[in-house]
């Protein structure tokens, strides 16, 4: 039905339908399943996301490595202090993105959007914006279909894998997906969704994947926080009428090319970047030495 962002936008404009509806129709066509079944499955994904957000913002969730945990709650407490420099909506999204990834690091249940390492961005933006936009439950599910439509294009024209394309392919893709979906939820046009995606991806180009000790915790969780904030800013810029000088599909192609050229050390191998710093090396030794000691005892 569509392979590029341009085709997706053209379809939406020609049929006078939102991107979310185009994605639902694609799922019906590709799978032969009923609209009700497809919508119910996505609704279940939303429930999984909501449970992770709630857990990570109300419980002090700590990973088995001890590297991460409790930051979602810290940001919530900071919000309540009234001293936050950023707006409440932005920091709610940041807190909920962090919370989701903390649940993931603690071996909790999350919904990969598009991957586990980038699972906080989309729900962080969706639930962070909920108080401001007051969406219905169906509109929240449609947010996920819109994000999925753009994620489908990225996955089939570039990559959503950190091992293949670096963190730009994971958090970068999730950021673009969330930005595009937020535009639709806020009443923007399909074309504006494309602009938001382009601006989000442009500002994550070259982002490396350098997990400390090979774990999806540091710096992954805080990158989800930054991704959520960038998604909201990108959506706002697109809704204001700002356009990307480079067309969205060309940005995706550039991301693919950057990923292909990126050295192996920066693609989920824990051989470069932050993972190779002295502190990261000490943390890795501590985590795995302690783990092996416990196993032997």
pLDDT in tens, 146-169: 999 999 999 999 999 999 999 999
Which residues on neighbouring strands pair with residue 129, listed in sequence order? Answer: none
pLDDT in tens, 107-127: 999 999 999 999 999 999 999
CATH code reported for the domain at 5-291:
1.10.4100
Q: Which of 31-35, 258-262, 286-290 comes out lowest in average pLDDT?
A: 286-290
Does the CA dihedral 51-52-58-59 come out positive or negative?
positive
pTM of the model: 0.96
Instruction: Give 289's pLDDT tier (boundaries 50, 70, 90).
Output: confident
**Please, which residues have CB within 8 angstroms of residue 38's CB and are 6 or more apart in sequence?**
24, 27, 28, 31
pLDDT in tens, 71-110: 999 999 999 999 999 999 999 999 999 999 999 999 999 9
Tell me which residue of 150, 225, 153, 223 sits closest to 180, measured CA to CA. 150
Phi first, then psi, for residue 6 (nearest 5°) are -60, -45
Tell me which residue of 63, 61, 64, 62 sits closest to 291, measured CA to CA. 64
Question: So where are the chain's domains?
Answer: 5-291
User: Alpha helix (H) ranges present in 67-204?
Assistant: 71-81, 88-105, 121-128, 130-133, 137-157, 162-165, 167, 173-185, 190-202
Contact 226, 91 (CB under 8 A): no
The average confidence (pLDDT) of the chain is 96
Instruction: Give 297's pLDDT tier (boundaries 50, 70, 90).
Output: very low
Is pLDDT above 90 for 7?
A: yes
What mean pLDDT is predicted for residues 205-221? 98
Is pLDDT above 50 for 2?
A: yes
Is pLDDT above 90 for 296?
A: no
Query: What is the rounded distance in angstroms from the CA atom of residue 203 to the CA atom of residue 19?
Result: 23
**What is the residue-wise DSSP string for 231-261?**
HHHHHHHHHTT---SS-HHHHHHHHHHHHHH
Is pLDDT above 70 for 294?
A: no
SS3 (DSSP) at 104: helix
pLDDT in tens, 178-195: 999 999 999 999 999 999
Query: What is the rounded distance in angstroms from the CA atom of residue 131 to the CA atom of residue 78?
Result: 18
pLDDT in tens, 39-64: 999 999 999 999 999 999 999 899 99
Question: In the prediction, which pLDDT does 291 show?
Answer: 58
Q: How many residues make up the chain in this entry?
A: 297
């Amino acid at each position: 039905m569509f392979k590029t962002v341009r085709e997706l936008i053209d379809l939406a404009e020609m049929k006078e339908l939102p991107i979310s509806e185009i994605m639902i129709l694609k799922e019906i066509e590709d799978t032969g399943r009923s609209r009700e079944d497809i919508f119910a499955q996505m609704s279940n994904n939303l429930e999984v996301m909501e449970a992770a957000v709630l857990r990570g913002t109300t419980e002090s969730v700590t990973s088995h490595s001890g590297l991460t945990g409790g930051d979602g709650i810290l940001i919530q407490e900071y919000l309540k202090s009234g001293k936050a420099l950023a707006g409440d909506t932005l920091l709610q999204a940041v807190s909920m993105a962090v919370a989701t990834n903390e649940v993931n690091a603690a071996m909790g249940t999350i919904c990969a959007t598009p991957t586990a390492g980038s699972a906080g961005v989309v729900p962080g933006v969706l639930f962070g914006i909920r108080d401001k936009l007051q969406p219905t439950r169906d509109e929240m599910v449609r947010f996920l279909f819109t994000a999925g439509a753009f994620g489908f294009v990225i996955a089939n024209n570039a990559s959503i894998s950190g091992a293949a394309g670096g963190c730009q392919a994971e958090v970068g893709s999730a950021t673009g997906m969330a930005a595009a979906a937020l535009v639709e939820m806020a009443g923007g046009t399909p074309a504006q969704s494309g602009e938001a995606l382009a601006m989000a991806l442009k500002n994550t180009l070259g982002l490396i994947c350098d997990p400390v000790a090979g774990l999806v915790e540091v710096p992954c969780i805080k990158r989800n926080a930054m991704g959520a904030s960038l998604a909201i800013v990108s959506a706002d810029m697109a809704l204001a009428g700002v356009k990307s000088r480079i067309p969205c599909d060309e940005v995706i192609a550039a991301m693919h090319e950057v990923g292909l050229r990126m050295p192996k050390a920066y693609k989920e191998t824990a051989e470069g970047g932050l993972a190779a710093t002295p502190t990261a090396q000490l943390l890795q030794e501590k985590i795995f030495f302690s783990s092996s000691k416990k196993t032997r005892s």
